[in-house]
Amino acid sequence: MRRKDKEIKDRKVMESIINKAIVCRIALSDNNTPYIVPVSFGFRNDCLYIHSARVGKKIDIIRKNNRVCFEFDTDVELVKSEKACNWSVNYYSVIGFGKAYLLDDFEEKRGALDIIMEHYSDDSYEYSEELVNNLIIIKIVIESLAGKKSGY
């Protein structure tokens, strides 16, 4: 990272940013063409969990190339200035790399749904067999993380 003063090195701080984030953006590559999509997610034990329909563009791409990049940001705030080129943005962010795997086992999917729901709610949920059978879970095993802050 060029600006060492903005770098976040503490893994616990990076994990707190992930845990606070509402949206994860996952970036995929299909024949050297980038594709990025915002998703709801869960995070536990160095893995991200994303639910998905069983078919679609991101599933097709992952089946061909499971290398992914992902991004989270929190506390985003526009900082205005009198001069056009002095505008800025305050934020915390984490970017990471990993490998995506498609989970189709019923119990694994149900456990992953619990992780996803725990990210957004303290309530517990039941999932119908039909719901679980009609979706797939993308499990991203995190290989590396980098954190950055600006304005804080």
11: domain CATH number?
Answer: 2.30.110.10
Residues of the chain with pLDDT under 50: none
CA angle 150, 68, 73 (to 5 degrees): 25
Helix (H) or strand (E) holding 60: helix 57-64
pLDDT of residue 44: 97
Torsion, Cα of 13, 145, 140, 40 (10° steps): 50
70 beta partners: 26, 96
Domain holding 146, by residue range, is 4-150
Measure the N-to-C terminal CA separation of the chain; round to a whole number of Å: 17
Tokens 């962010």, residue?
Answer: 93
pLDDT of residue 3: 77
pLDDT of residue 4: 76
pLDDT of residue 84: 85
| C-alpha–C-alpha distance, residues 3 and 139, integer Å | 32
Total of domains in the chain: 1
pLDDT of residue 1: 66
pLDDT of residue 82: 92
pLDDT of residue 6: 85
CA angle 28, 31, 32 (to 5 degrees): 70
Q: What is the pTM of this model?
A: 0.93
